């Protein structure tokens, strides 16, 4: 009689090959313990917050560090700051751009990103709402008119005249109206809730921080409007329009 074939499940060479294959696959994966760690974010912020505005439109600057301390990859869809003053809701400001390094002179557009386990995203981030289309159109038209008036007056200046050129009041008025409509930085106690929207949603993060704007801070921010008549903060940037940097602390509530 011919020899009886050994059943596959009794063939030690077959099982040796299976074990070797599994070992190879597992060697390419993270440690098994990571599979069971929940998806989780660790978020830290700098101890100061930058408060400023663009023709009244509120801007907040904050250094944010987001670290994936869980066991699987996460996707960060958005960052947002929700502001209240003296317990009254004010505005929600999404992250729009950030600085790639501490020495960067210009910002790059914020877009969703992914974090592998242990990875960190840490950048100075700008939170603001862009003008709506109607406001953007008005702003660009008004900026063009104001710039043209200033250039015409500069060309007509006598040689050696060092006095600043001031635009006509009716050309400055649109910016003053926009400033008064959008400016929110009144003296008071502020709460800034930082919301990190992640995928999956169970990994999302939120925490509240508080800061105080004093009358001197609000007055400093209001003085930016004094430069609109010479084009400052409209047609070109002015260093002091960077705003005020105030202490930020975690909110107890």
What's the structural domain count of the chain?
A: 1
Report if residue 6 sits inside a domain: no
The residue range of the domain holding 118 is: 41-134+162-250
Report if residue 234 sits inside a domain: yes
Average pLDDT for the chain: 88
Report if residue 123 sits inside a domain: yes
> What mean pLDDT is predicted for residues 235-247?
93
pLDDT attached to residue 102: 84
d(CA 224, CA 52): 10
pTM above 0.95, yes or no: no
Lowest-confidence range among 35-44, 124-133, 219-228, 242-251? 35-44
Percent pLDDT > 70 in the chain is 84
Residue 121: its H or E element: strand 120-128
pLDDT attached to residue 104: 85
Report if residue 157 sits inside a domain: no
> Locate tokens 């070109």: which residue?
236
Contact status, residue 190 vs residue 83, Cβ threshold 8 Å: yes
Contact status, residue 53 vs residue 243, Cβ threshold 8 Å: yes
Contact status, residue 98 vs residue 123, Cβ threshold 8 Å: yes
DSSP-derived letter for residue 232 is B
d(CA 217, CA 227): 17
CATH number of the domain to which 232 belongs: 2.60.40.10
Report if residue 190 sits inside a domain: yes
Report if residue 75 sits inside a domain: yes
Q: Tens digits of per-residue pLDDT, 153-184? A: 998 887 777 888 999 999 999 999 999 999 99
> What mean pLDDT is predicted for residues 39-52?
92
Residue 188: its H or E element: strand 188-199
Report if residue 29 sits inside a domain: no
Contact status, residue 118 vs residue 129, Cβ threshold 8 Å: no
């Amino acid at each position: 009689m011919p020899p009886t074939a050994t059943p596959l499940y009794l063939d030690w060479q077959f099982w040796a090959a299976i074990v070797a294959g599994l070992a190879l696959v597992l060697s390419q994966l993270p440690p098994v313990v990571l599979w069971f760690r929940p998806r989780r974010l660790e978020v830290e912020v700098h101890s100061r917050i930058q408060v400023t505005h663009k023709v009244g439109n509120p801007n907040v600057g904050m250094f944010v560090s987001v670290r994936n301390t869980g066991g699987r990859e996460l996707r960060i869809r958005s960052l947002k700051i929700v502001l209240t003053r003296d317990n009254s809701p004010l505005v929600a400001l999404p992250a729009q751009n950030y600085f790639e390094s501490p020495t960067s002179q210009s910002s790059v557009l914020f877009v969703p990103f992914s974090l592998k386990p242990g990875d960190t995203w840490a950048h100075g981030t700008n939170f603001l709402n862009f003008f709506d289309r109607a406001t953007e159109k008005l702003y660009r038209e008004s900026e063009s008119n104001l710039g043209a008036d200033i250039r015409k007056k500069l060309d007509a200046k006598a040689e050696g005249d060092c006095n600043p050129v001031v635009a006509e009041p009716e050309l400055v008025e649109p910016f003053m109206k926009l400033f008064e409509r959008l400016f929110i930085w009144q003296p008071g106690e502020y709460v800034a809730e930082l919301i990190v929207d992640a995928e999956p949603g169970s990994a999302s993060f939120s925490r509240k921080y508080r800061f105080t704007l004093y009358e001197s801070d609000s007055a400093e921010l209001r003085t930016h409007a004094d430069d609109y008549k010479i084009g400052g903060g409209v047609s070109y940037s002015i260093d002091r329009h960077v705003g005020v940097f105030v202490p930020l602390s975690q909110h107890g509530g």
